[in-house]
Amino acid sequence: MGPGTTPRPVRGALAAAGSYAVIKPNPTAPWPASLTLRIAVLADIHACDPLMRIERIGGIVEATNALGADLIVLVGDFMADQRFVTRNVSAAEWAPVLAKLTAPLGVYAVLGNHDWRADREAQMRGAGPTIAGTALPDNGIRVLSNEAVPLATRAGPVWLAGLEDQLALVHGRWRFGRKRVGLDDLPATLAAVPNGAPMILLAHEPDIFAKVPARVALTLSGHTHGGQVRLFGWPLVVPSCRRYAYGHVREASDLVVSGGLGLSVAPIRFGVPPEIVVVELGAEAVA
């Protein structure tokens, strides 16, 4: 996953996730040395039988809570909406399970493209609310849709911003004639954050990172599944026009792309096991 990364096998409840990776990105953007933060990142659950049963989601929740994170973030794609499954698990089932996630600074989420694509009524309206976007806050998890919130820490506030999905709406009926329209608004989202304030951005698809200004300390994304199938360490397919496939990327600022937990399109993972990502920021993380 790149420099500063420690993949770790897991035991007991953690085995529901497969592994967890600890990343210490040491952001290039100003970050107060006294502001230490441990963030657990969950991506791409894709709740469905038999690939991501409700029992497995419960195990992932238990595993995440055991990691002692200050903050838990979920970076989209809770819904499955795919072939090769016996059924898509409903939000009425998976949202109450995710409600058991707990962290001192809270649990926050953004939506992904599957959360929009699986909602036929939202697609027809061309707007929310979506099924996932309603189920999460109904179960105590705040969804950030082009908005930012301050989180109170002992070292002062840190801002958490979240984008609406960049591929939310699908226009057109045929596969190669479809146009995907995003509902994200990066400028408006960042405008809510005071200049100079430490900030973390949640964005389901990592491609937005090319436009993220240097004042954002860290962008957290999913969507790619790390390629889902990797041979000799390389993904066969990367659903990112900028090829942000997996791991820690440093450009104007820092990006971490999770390999995620579930599957889409094909019912197989190879060379990129499901994972929980733990990001550590601050003096203790880089010591």
Domain annotation for the chain: domains and CATH numbers: 5-286 (3.60.21)
Whether 134 has a pLDDT exceeding 90, the answer reads yes
Higher model confidence: residue 266 or residue 57?
57
pLDDT in tens, 39-74: 999 999 999 999 899 999 999 999 999 999 999 999
| Cis amide linkage into residue 273, ω under 30° from 0 | no
Which residues fall within 8 angstroms of residue 232, CB to CB, at 6 or more apart?
none
User: Residue 84: its pLDDT value, please?
Assistant: 78
Mean of pLDDT values over 99-118:
98
Rounded average pLDDT over 90-113:
98
- Say if CB 101 and CB 154 are below 8 A apart: no
For 73, the enclosing helix (H) or strand (E) is strand 71-74
3-class SS letters over 181-223: ECCCCHHHHHHCCCCCCCEEEECCCHHHHHHCCCCCCEEEECC
Residue 216 has pLDDT above 60, yes or no: yes
Q: How far apart are CA 287 and CA 11, in angstroms?
A: 27
pLDDT at 244: 83
Maximum Cα–Cα distance across the chain: 53
What average pLDDT does this structure show over 101-123? 97
Please state, in angstroms and rounded to a whole number, the distance separating the CA atoms of residues 279 and 24: 6
Contact between 236 and 280 under an 8 Å Cβ cutoff? The reply is no
Torsion of CA 140, 141, 145, 150, to 10 degrees: 90
Question: CB–CB of 17/277 below 8 Å?
Answer: no
**Which band of pLDDT confidence, cut at 50, 70 and 90, is reported for residue 223?**
very high
Predicted confidence (pLDDT) at residue 206 exceeds the cutoff of 50: yes
Percent of the chain with pLDDT over 90: 66
Mean pLDDT of 118-134: 96
Concatenated DSSP letters of 95-138 = HHHHTT---TT-EEE---HHHHHT-HHHHHHTS---HHHHHHHH
Question: Is the model's pLDDT at 269 over the cut of 80?
Answer: no
pTM assigned to the model: 0.89
Residue 241, pLDDT score: 55
- Tokens describing residue 220: 């957290």
Residues paired with residue 152 on neighbouring β-strands, in sequence order = 157
Rounded to a whole number of angstroms, the distance between the first and last alpha carbons of the chain is 19
Q: How far apart are CA 164 and CA 76, in angstroms?
A: 10
Separation of alpha carbons 149 and 167, rounded Å? 23
The CA distance from 272 to 263, in Å, is 11
Q: Output the pLDDT for position 9.
A: 41
For residue 41, give every residue at least 6 positions away whose Cβ sits within 8 Å of its Cβ, in sequence order, or none: 73, 74, 75, 220, 222, 256, 258, 276, 277, 278, 279
**Is 76 or 23 the better-scoring residue by pLDDT?**
76
Cα–Cα dist 282/34, whole Å:
7
